[in-house]
Structure 1
Amino acid sequence: MSEKRGALKGRIFKEGARLFAEQGYERTSLQELAGALGVTKPALYYYFSSKDELLFGIMTFVMDQVLADVIEVRESSLSPSDKLHDLIRRYISFFAAKPHELTIMSTEVDSLGPEFRETIVARQREYVRLVRGIIAGVMAARKCEKGAGVNETAAVYALLGGMNWIFKWYDPEGPLSPDELALDFMSIFKSGLG
Protein backbone atom coordinates (compact mmCIF):
# COMPACT_ATOMS: atom_id res chain seq x y z
CA MET A 1 0.00 0.00 0.00
CA SER A 2 1.40 3.40 -0.95
CA GLU A 3 2.20 5.95 1.74
CA LYS A 4 -0.75 8.12 0.63
CA ARG A 5 -3.17 5.18 0.82
CA GLY A 6 -1.73 4.11 4.17
CA ALA A 7 -2.23 7.64 5.51
CA LEU A 8 -5.86 7.66 4.35
CA LYS A 9 -6.49 4.30 5.99
CA GLY A 10 -5.09 5.72 9.24
CA ARG A 11 -7.36 8.76 8.91
CA ILE A 12 -10.34 6.47 8.29
CA PHE A 13 -9.51 4.52 11.47
CA LYS A 14 -9.10 7.69 13.52
CA GLU A 15 -12.24 9.42 12.25
CA GLY A 16 -14.26 6.20 12.33
CA ALA A 17 -13.26 5.66 15.96
CA ARG A 18 -14.23 9.25 16.80
CA LEU A 19 -17.65 9.01 15.17
CA PHE A 20 -18.40 5.55 16.60
CA ALA A 21 -17.37 6.74 20.08
CA GLU A 22 -19.31 10.00 19.96
CA GLN A 23 -22.47 8.82 18.19
CA GLY A 24 -22.45 5.05 18.59
CA TYR A 25 -21.77 2.49 15.91
CA GLU A 26 -25.41 2.05 14.88
CA ARG A 27 -26.03 5.79 14.46
CA THR A 28 -22.93 6.42 12.35
CA SER A 29 -23.18 5.98 8.58
CA LEU A 30 -20.36 5.43 6.13
CA GLN A 31 -21.71 8.42 4.19
CA GLU A 32 -21.18 10.58 7.26
CA LEU A 33 -17.67 9.19 7.70
CA ALA A 34 -16.84 9.89 4.06
CA GLY A 35 -18.11 13.46 4.44
CA ALA A 36 -16.02 14.03 7.56
CA LEU A 37 -12.94 12.80 5.67
CA GLY A 38 -13.68 14.75 2.49
CA VAL A 39 -13.78 11.59 0.36
CA THR A 40 -16.53 9.77 -1.47
CA LYS A 41 -18.32 6.84 0.10
CA PRO A 42 -17.04 4.50 -2.66
CA ALA A 43 -13.48 5.52 -1.70
CA LEU A 44 -14.06 3.96 1.72
CA TYR A 45 -14.91 0.64 0.09
CA TYR A 46 -11.38 0.47 -1.28
CA TYR A 47 -10.23 -0.07 2.32
CA PHE A 48 -13.23 -1.77 3.94
CA SER A 49 -16.08 -3.78 2.48
CA SER A 50 -18.51 -2.77 5.24
CA LYS A 51 -18.96 -0.68 8.35
CA ASP A 52 -18.60 -3.91 10.35
CA GLU A 53 -15.20 -4.54 8.76
CA LEU A 54 -14.13 -0.98 9.63
CA LEU A 55 -15.11 -1.46 13.28
CA PHE A 56 -13.26 -4.78 13.29
CA GLY A 57 -10.21 -3.10 11.74
CA ILE A 58 -10.12 -0.45 14.45
CA MET A 59 -10.50 -3.06 17.19
CA THR A 60 -7.83 -5.26 15.60
CA PHE A 61 -5.42 -2.30 15.57
CA VAL A 62 -6.09 -1.73 19.28
CA MET A 63 -5.72 -5.40 20.21
CA ASP A 64 -2.49 -5.67 18.19
CA GLN A 65 -1.02 -2.82 20.22
CA VAL A 66 -2.14 -3.86 23.70
CA LEU A 67 -1.19 -7.51 23.11
CA ALA A 68 2.26 -6.50 21.84
CA ASP A 69 2.70 -4.33 24.94
CA VAL A 70 1.65 -7.01 27.44
CA ILE A 71 3.88 -9.61 25.75
CA GLU A 72 6.85 -7.23 25.81
CA VAL A 73 6.25 -6.45 29.48
CA ARG A 74 5.81 -10.13 30.38
CA GLU A 75 9.06 -11.08 28.65
CA SER A 76 11.07 -8.24 30.18
CA SER A 77 13.57 -8.73 32.99
CA LEU A 78 11.73 -6.30 35.28
CA SER A 79 10.65 -7.32 38.76
CA PRO A 80 7.00 -8.47 39.04
CA SER A 81 5.97 -5.15 40.59
CA ASP A 82 7.81 -3.14 37.92
CA LYS A 83 6.19 -5.27 35.20
CA LEU A 84 2.76 -4.39 36.54
CA HIS A 85 3.66 -0.71 36.71
CA ASP A 86 5.03 -0.77 33.15
CA LEU A 87 1.88 -2.52 31.91
CA ILE A 88 -0.39 0.03 33.59
CA ARG A 89 1.72 2.93 32.28
CA ARG A 90 1.64 1.63 28.71
CA TYR A 91 -2.09 0.92 28.78
CA ILE A 92 -3.03 4.31 30.21
CA SER A 93 -0.63 6.19 27.91
CA PHE A 94 -1.97 4.40 24.83
CA PHE A 95 -5.61 5.04 25.66
CA ALA A 96 -5.04 8.58 26.96
CA ALA A 97 -3.85 9.30 23.41
CA LYS A 98 -6.66 7.23 21.86
CA PRO A 99 -9.77 7.71 24.02
CA HIS A 100 -12.17 7.05 21.15
CA GLU A 101 -10.60 3.67 20.53
CA LEU A 102 -10.95 2.77 24.22
CA THR A 103 -14.58 3.89 24.13
CA ILE A 104 -15.48 1.60 21.25
CA MET A 105 -13.48 -1.30 22.73
CA SER A 106 -15.51 -0.87 25.92
CA THR A 107 -18.92 -0.33 24.33
CA GLU A 108 -19.15 -1.68 20.78
CA VAL A 109 -17.81 -5.27 20.73
CA ASP A 110 -21.39 -6.56 20.61
CA SER A 111 -21.99 -4.47 17.48
CA LEU A 112 -19.62 -6.70 15.51
CA GLY A 113 -20.91 -9.54 13.37
CA PRO A 114 -20.47 -13.02 14.90
CA GLU A 115 -17.16 -13.96 13.22
CA PHE A 116 -15.50 -10.62 13.91
CA ARG A 117 -16.86 -10.59 17.47
CA GLU A 118 -15.49 -14.09 18.17
CA THR A 119 -12.06 -13.01 16.96
CA ILE A 120 -11.97 -9.86 19.11
CA VAL A 121 -13.36 -11.63 22.19
CA ALA A 122 -10.72 -14.37 21.81
CA ARG A 123 -8.00 -11.72 21.65
CA GLN A 124 -9.45 -9.95 24.70
CA ARG A 125 -9.40 -13.25 26.59
CA GLU A 126 -5.76 -13.71 25.61
CA TYR A 127 -5.00 -10.22 26.93
CA VAL A 128 -6.73 -11.02 30.22
CA ARG A 129 -4.77 -14.29 30.47
CA LEU A 130 -1.47 -12.44 30.00
CA VAL A 131 -2.41 -9.71 32.50
CA ARG A 132 -3.40 -12.45 34.95
CA GLY A 133 0.11 -13.89 34.64
CA ILE A 134 1.69 -10.54 35.47
CA ILE A 135 -0.62 -10.02 38.46
CA ALA A 136 0.03 -13.60 39.64
CA GLY A 137 3.75 -12.80 39.62
CA VAL A 138 3.18 -9.73 41.78
CA MET A 139 0.94 -11.67 44.16
CA ALA A 140 3.46 -14.51 44.47
CA ALA A 141 6.24 -12.06 45.29
CA ARG A 142 4.04 -10.17 47.77
CA LYS A 143 2.90 -13.36 49.53
CA CYS A 144 6.52 -14.04 50.36
CA GLU A 145 6.66 -10.62 52.01
CA LYS A 146 3.22 -10.20 53.61
CA GLY A 147 1.26 -13.44 53.77
CA ALA A 148 -2.05 -14.11 51.99
CA GLY A 149 -3.21 -11.73 49.28
CA VAL A 150 -6.46 -11.06 47.48
CA ASN A 151 -8.23 -13.26 44.95
CA GLU A 152 -6.31 -13.23 41.66
CA THR A 153 -9.42 -13.04 39.45
CA ALA A 154 -10.78 -10.13 41.49
CA ALA A 155 -7.45 -8.33 41.14
CA VAL A 156 -7.32 -8.85 37.36
CA TYR A 157 -10.82 -7.56 36.74
CA ALA A 158 -10.53 -4.71 39.25
CA LEU A 159 -7.44 -3.47 37.41
CA LEU A 160 -8.87 -3.92 33.91
CA GLY A 161 -12.26 -2.55 34.93
CA GLY A 162 -10.66 0.54 36.38
CA MET A 163 -8.43 1.14 33.37
CA ASN A 164 -11.12 0.35 30.79
CA TRP A 165 -13.38 3.10 32.10
CA ILE A 166 -10.89 5.96 32.09
CA PHE A 167 -12.56 7.15 28.88
CA LYS A 168 -15.54 8.17 31.03
CA TRP A 169 -13.68 10.37 33.48
CA TYR A 170 -10.02 10.95 32.63
CA ASP A 171 -9.11 14.33 31.16
CA PRO A 172 -5.62 14.42 29.61
CA GLU A 173 -5.72 18.22 30.01
CA GLY A 174 -6.57 17.86 33.72
CA PRO A 175 -4.33 17.72 36.77
CA LEU A 176 -3.00 14.17 36.17
CA SER A 177 -0.68 13.24 33.33
CA PRO A 178 -0.99 9.67 32.00
CA ASP A 179 2.19 8.75 33.90
CA GLU A 180 0.83 10.21 37.14
CA LEU A 181 -2.44 8.35 36.66
CA ALA A 182 -0.46 5.13 36.10
CA LEU A 183 1.43 5.79 39.36
CA ASP A 184 -1.87 6.25 41.18
CA PHE A 185 -3.23 2.98 39.76
CA MET A 186 -0.01 1.23 40.74
CA SER A 187 -0.11 2.66 44.26
CA ILE A 188 -3.68 1.40 44.70
CA PHE A 189 -2.77 -2.06 43.46
CA LYS A 190 0.53 -2.37 45.31
CA SER A 191 -1.17 -1.66 48.61
CA GLY A 192 -4.15 -3.87 47.79
CA LEU A 193 -2.53 -7.05 46.50
CA GLY A 194 -1.49 -8.30 49.89
Structure 2
Amino acid sequence: MSSSQSDVQRRLLSAATRLFAEQGFDRTSVSQIVEAAGVTKGAMYHYFRSKDDLLYEVYARVLREQTRRMETFAASDEPVGDRLHAIAADVVVSTIANLDDTTIFFQSMHRLAPDTRAAVRRQRRRYHERFRGLIEEGQRSGEFRADKPAEVIVDFFFGAVHHLGFWYRPSGELSAREVGDHFADLLLDSLRPTAG
Protein backbone atom coordinates (compact mmCIF):
# COMPACT_ATOMS: atom_id res chain seq x y z
CA MET A 1 0.00 0.00 0.00
CA SER A 2 1.23 3.45 -0.81
CA SER A 3 3.20 5.15 1.96
CA SER A 4 1.42 8.37 1.02
CA GLN A 5 -1.88 6.97 2.24
CA SER A 6 -2.91 8.09 5.69
CA ASP A 7 -3.61 5.70 8.53
CA VAL A 8 -7.32 6.55 8.19
CA GLN A 9 -7.30 5.60 4.50
CA ARG A 10 -5.52 2.34 5.24
CA ARG A 11 -7.98 1.46 8.00
CA LEU A 12 -10.97 2.28 5.79
CA LEU A 13 -9.64 0.23 2.88
CA SER A 14 -8.79 -2.70 5.14
CA ALA A 15 -12.24 -2.65 6.76
CA ALA A 16 -14.00 -2.26 3.41
CA THR A 17 -12.05 -5.15 1.87
CA ARG A 18 -12.87 -7.44 4.78
CA LEU A 19 -16.55 -6.51 4.87
CA PHE A 20 -16.98 -6.70 1.09
CA ALA A 21 -15.38 -10.17 1.20
CA GLU A 22 -17.52 -11.37 4.12
CA GLN A 23 -20.93 -10.03 3.15
CA GLY A 24 -20.68 -8.62 -0.36
CA PHE A 25 -20.52 -5.07 -1.67
CA ASP A 26 -24.29 -4.57 -1.81
CA ARG A 27 -24.91 -5.73 1.75
CA THR A 28 -22.13 -3.60 3.25
CA SER A 29 -23.10 -0.13 4.44
CA VAL A 30 -20.93 2.92 4.93
CA SER A 31 -21.89 2.83 8.63
CA GLN A 32 -20.49 -0.68 8.95
CA ILE A 33 -17.27 0.31 7.22
CA VAL A 34 -16.59 3.35 9.40
CA GLU A 35 -17.47 1.43 12.55
CA ALA A 36 -15.10 -1.41 11.61
CA ALA A 37 -12.38 1.10 10.75
CA GLY A 38 -12.91 3.04 13.97
CA VAL A 39 -13.36 6.37 12.21
CA THR A 40 -16.21 8.82 11.70
CA LYS A 41 -18.27 9.20 8.54
CA GLY A 42 -16.81 12.68 8.21
CA ALA A 43 -13.30 11.19 8.17
CA MET A 44 -14.32 8.71 5.52
CA TYR A 45 -15.91 11.36 3.32
CA HIS A 46 -12.74 13.43 3.61
CA TYR A 47 -10.95 10.70 1.60
CA PHE A 48 -13.71 8.88 -0.28
CA ARG A 49 -16.88 10.35 -1.80
CA SER A 50 -18.79 7.08 -1.57
CA LYS A 51 -18.73 3.34 -1.09
CA ASP A 52 -18.06 3.15 -4.86
CA ASP A 53 -14.86 5.13 -4.35
CA LEU A 54 -13.75 2.62 -1.72
CA LEU A 55 -14.43 -0.28 -4.09
CA TYR A 56 -12.51 1.49 -6.84
CA GLU A 57 -9.54 2.16 -4.57
CA VAL A 58 -9.49 -1.44 -3.29
CA TYR A 59 -8.51 -2.51 -6.79
CA ALA A 60 -6.75 0.62 -8.08
CA ARG A 61 -4.10 0.50 -5.34
CA VAL A 62 -3.20 -3.06 -6.40
CA LEU A 63 -3.10 -2.10 -10.08
CA ARG A 64 -0.91 0.95 -9.36
CA GLU A 65 1.62 -1.21 -7.50
CA GLN A 66 1.58 -3.88 -10.23
CA THR A 67 2.14 -1.18 -12.86
CA ARG A 68 5.03 0.34 -10.90
CA ARG A 69 6.71 -3.06 -10.55
CA MET A 70 6.10 -3.93 -14.20
CA GLU A 71 7.76 -0.72 -15.36
CA THR A 72 10.79 -1.50 -13.19
CA PHE A 73 11.17 -4.98 -14.71
CA ALA A 74 10.43 -3.75 -18.26
CA ALA A 75 13.10 -1.03 -18.05
CA SER A 76 15.92 -3.45 -17.19
CA ASP A 77 18.64 -4.46 -19.68
CA GLU A 78 17.70 -8.15 -19.44
CA PRO A 79 16.62 -10.06 -22.58
CA VAL A 80 12.94 -9.61 -23.37
CA GLY A 81 12.14 -13.20 -22.33
CA ASP A 82 13.62 -12.64 -18.88
CA ARG A 83 11.77 -9.34 -18.47
CA LEU A 84 8.46 -10.88 -19.52
CA HIS A 85 8.99 -13.88 -17.21
CA ALA A 86 9.69 -11.58 -14.27
CA ILE A 87 6.57 -9.48 -14.96
CA ALA A 88 4.33 -12.51 -15.52
CA ALA A 89 5.48 -14.17 -12.28
CA ASP A 90 5.17 -10.89 -10.38
CA VAL A 91 1.59 -10.16 -11.48
CA VAL A 92 0.58 -13.63 -10.26
CA VAL A 93 2.34 -13.22 -6.91
CA SER A 94 0.93 -9.72 -6.36
CA THR A 95 -2.57 -10.83 -7.38
CA ILE A 96 -2.40 -13.69 -4.85
CA ALA A 97 -1.06 -11.32 -2.19
CA ASN A 98 -4.15 -9.16 -2.77
CA LEU A 99 -6.60 -11.93 -3.65
CA ASP A 100 -9.49 -10.54 -1.60
CA ASP A 101 -9.09 -7.13 -3.23
CA THR A 102 -9.02 -8.41 -6.79
CA THR A 103 -11.76 -11.01 -6.29
CA ILE A 104 -14.07 -8.49 -4.62
CA PHE A 105 -13.46 -5.99 -7.37
CA PHE A 106 -14.18 -8.34 -10.26
CA GLN A 107 -17.31 -9.61 -8.53
CA SER A 108 -18.59 -6.08 -7.86
CA MET A 109 -17.15 -4.01 -10.70
CA HIS A 110 -20.54 -3.86 -12.43
CA ARG A 111 -21.83 -1.87 -9.41
CA LEU A 112 -19.52 1.07 -10.12
CA ALA A 113 -20.69 4.19 -11.87
CA PRO A 114 -20.04 3.95 -15.65
CA ASP A 115 -17.33 6.63 -15.64
CA THR A 116 -15.48 4.97 -12.76
CA ARG A 117 -15.75 1.57 -14.44
CA ALA A 118 -14.39 3.09 -17.65
CA ALA A 119 -11.45 4.63 -15.75
CA VAL A 120 -10.50 1.24 -14.31
CA ARG A 121 -10.73 -0.38 -17.73
CA ARG A 122 -8.42 2.28 -19.16
CA GLN A 123 -5.86 1.72 -16.39
CA ARG A 124 -5.97 -2.04 -16.83
CA ARG A 125 -5.75 -1.69 -20.62
CA ARG A 126 -2.55 0.40 -20.24
CA TYR A 127 -1.03 -2.39 -18.15
CA HIS A 128 -2.06 -5.02 -20.71
CA GLU A 129 -0.74 -2.88 -23.60
CA ARG A 130 2.68 -2.59 -21.94
CA PHE A 131 2.68 -6.37 -21.41
CA ARG A 132 1.66 -6.87 -25.06
CA GLY A 133 4.45 -4.53 -26.15
CA LEU A 134 7.03 -6.88 -24.63
CA ILE A 135 5.50 -9.84 -26.45
CA GLU A 136 5.60 -7.87 -29.71
CA GLU A 137 9.22 -6.90 -29.04
CA GLY A 138 10.11 -10.58 -28.69
CA GLN A 139 8.15 -11.45 -31.82
CA ARG A 140 10.00 -8.80 -33.84
CA SER A 141 13.40 -10.00 -32.60
CA GLY A 142 12.57 -13.65 -33.35
CA GLU A 143 12.84 -14.69 -29.70
CA PHE A 144 9.06 -15.38 -29.59
CA ARG A 145 6.89 -17.07 -32.17
CA ALA A 146 5.03 -14.63 -34.36
CA ASP A 147 2.21 -16.86 -35.64
CA LYS A 148 -0.10 -16.04 -32.70
CA PRO A 149 -1.46 -12.51 -32.21
CA ALA A 150 0.04 -10.81 -29.16
CA GLU A 151 -3.43 -9.57 -28.14
CA VAL A 152 -4.74 -13.16 -27.95
CA ILE A 153 -1.73 -14.20 -25.86
CA VAL A 154 -2.35 -11.32 -23.43
CA ASP A 155 -6.06 -12.17 -23.10
CA PHE A 156 -5.26 -15.85 -22.59
CA PHE A 157 -2.68 -15.16 -19.89
CA PHE A 158 -4.71 -12.59 -17.94
CA GLY A 159 -7.83 -14.72 -18.16
CA ALA A 160 -5.90 -17.30 -16.14
CA VAL A 161 -4.58 -14.66 -13.72
CA HIS A 162 -8.08 -13.27 -13.11
CA HIS A 163 -9.28 -16.81 -12.39
CA LEU A 164 -6.87 -17.27 -9.45
CA GLY A 165 -9.49 -16.17 -6.93
CA PHE A 166 -11.63 -19.17 -7.81
CA TRP A 167 -9.08 -21.84 -6.96
CA TYR A 168 -5.92 -20.59 -5.21
CA ARG A 169 -5.74 -21.28 -1.47
CA PRO A 170 -2.85 -20.11 0.73
CA SER A 171 -3.05 -23.44 2.55
CA GLY A 172 -2.56 -25.36 -0.71
CA GLU A 173 0.54 -27.24 -1.81
CA LEU A 174 1.96 -24.43 -3.95
CA SER A 175 3.22 -21.09 -2.69
CA ALA A 176 2.34 -17.89 -4.52
CA ARG A 177 5.90 -17.74 -5.87
CA GLU A 178 5.67 -21.29 -7.20
CA VAL A 179 2.36 -20.57 -8.92
CA GLY A 180 3.82 -17.37 -10.37
CA ASP A 181 6.84 -19.22 -11.73
CA HIS A 182 4.63 -21.94 -13.23
CA PHE A 183 2.39 -19.36 -14.93
CA ALA A 184 5.43 -17.49 -16.28
CA ASP A 185 7.10 -20.72 -17.45
CA LEU A 186 3.92 -21.78 -19.27
CA LEU A 187 3.67 -18.37 -20.93
CA LEU A 188 7.29 -18.36 -22.09
CA ASP A 189 7.09 -22.00 -23.24
CA SER A 190 4.07 -21.11 -25.37
CA LEU A 191 5.99 -18.23 -26.96
CA ARG A 192 8.99 -20.29 -28.08
CA PRO A 193 9.25 -20.46 -31.88
CA THR A 194 8.04 -23.76 -33.27
CA ALA A 195 10.47 -25.96 -35.19
CA GLY A 196 10.33 -25.49 -38.94
Q: Output the TM-score relative to the length of structure 1.
A: 0.85
Gaps (5+ residues) in structure 2? none
Per the alignment, residue 167 of structure 1 pairs with: 165
Alignment length, in residue pairs?
Answer: 189
Given that residues 150 and 192 in structure 1 are in contact (C-alpha distance below 8 angstroms), is that contact kept between their aligned partners in structure 2? no
State the 4+ residue runs in structure 1 displaced beyond 4 angstroms. Answer: 145-148
Given that residues 85 and 182 in structure 1 are in contact (C-alpha distance below 8 angstroms), is that contact kept between their aligned partners in structure 2? no
Per the alignment, residue 82 of structure 2 pairs with: 82
Q: Report whether the alignment pairs 1:96 with 2:107.
A: no
Q: Report whether the alignment pairs 1:133 with 2:133.
A: yes
Q: Report whether the alignment pairs 1:27 with 2:19.
A: no
Note the C-alpha offset of 1:146: 7.7
Q: How does 1:36-185 map to 2 (within 5 A)?
A: 36-141=36-141, 144=142, 148-185=146-183
CA distance 1:105–1:139, change in 2 (3 Å): farther
Measure the CA separation in 1 of the matches of 2:144 and 2:127.
28
Identity %: 29
CA distance 1:57–1:145, change in 2 (3 Å): closer
Given that residues 19 and 28 in structure 1 are in contact (C-alpha distance below 8 angstroms), is that contact kept between their aligned partners in structure 2? yes
- Match of 1:49, SS state, is coil
CA distance 1:189–1:36, change in 2 (3 Å): same
Given that residues 99 and 167 in structure 1 are in contact (C-alpha distance below 8 angstroms), is that contact kept between their aligned partners in structure 2? yes
Q: Output the TM-score relative to the length of structure 2.
A: 0.84
- Match of 1:108, SS state, is helix
Given that residues 93 and 179 in structure 1 are in contact (C-alpha distance below 8 angstroms), is that contact kept between their aligned partners in structure 2? yes
Measure the CA separation in 1 of the matches of 2:144 and 2:50.
54
2:102 aligned partner, one-letter code: L
Name whichever of 100-109 and 182-191 sits farther off.
100-109
CA distance 1:138–1:107, change in 2 (3 Å): farther
Name whichever of 107-116 and 177-186 sits farther off.
107-116
2:176 aligned partner, one-letter code: P
CA distance 1:9–1:123, change in 2 (3 Å): same
